[in-house]
């Protein structure tokens, strides 16, 4: 079975940084990996995705501040978050789907982690 598990969340001050990790197990081959977040009262928002070859794409809300990367040998996905803002406060989720990345709509993704909380103080 495919399993994903996020880690690295926590509380930081505005302007600070965090690095999230997502450990993946259960299958091999080409797959798209992505990060989403959801704040209370808001719908899930796609942040970034990355193909098996390392090609990343970003939502405008995080472009220039967040960096998505992956270590295929370790089956781990990362999200480096810099210049954090209070509006970045949310639960962050990693997700996967087979093949190449096709966008940041949540229905495109088949497997999800349980999420990790990020809180940014003003």
- The residues, any chain, with a CB within 8 Å of residue 6's CB and separated by 6 or more, are 20, 21, 22, 92, 93, 94, 113, 114, 115, 116
Q: Which tokens belong to 94? A: 């990693």
- Asked whether 39 and 89 are in contact (CB, 8 A), the reply is yes
pLDDT number for residue 52: 93
Cα 24 from Cα 65, distance rounded (Å): 24
CA separation (Å) from 38 to 27, 53, 114? Answer: 26, 27, 12
pLDDT 10s per residue in the chain (122 long)? 889 999 999 999 999 999 999 999 986 789 999 999 999 999 999 999 999 999 999 999 999 999 999 998 899 999 999 999 999 999 999 999 999 999 999 999 999 999 999 999 99
pLDDT number for residue 1: 81
Cα 75 from Cα 83, distance rounded (Å): 27
């Amino acid at each position: 079975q495919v399993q994903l598990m996020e880690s690295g969340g926590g509380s930081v001050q505005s302007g600070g940084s965090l690095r999230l990790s997502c450990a993946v197990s259960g299958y091999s081959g080409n797959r798209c990996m992505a990060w989403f977040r959801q704040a209370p009262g808001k719908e899930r928002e796609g942040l970034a995705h990355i193909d098996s070859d390392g090609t990343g794409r970003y939502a405008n809300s995080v472009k220039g501040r967040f960096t998505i990367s992956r270590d295929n040998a370790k089956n781990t996905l990362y999200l480096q978050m810099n210049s954090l803002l209070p509006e970045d406060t949310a639960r962050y989720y990693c997700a996967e789907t087979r093949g190449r990345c096709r966008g940041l709509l949540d229905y495109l993704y088949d497997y999800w982690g349980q999420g990790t909380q990020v809180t940014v103080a003003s």
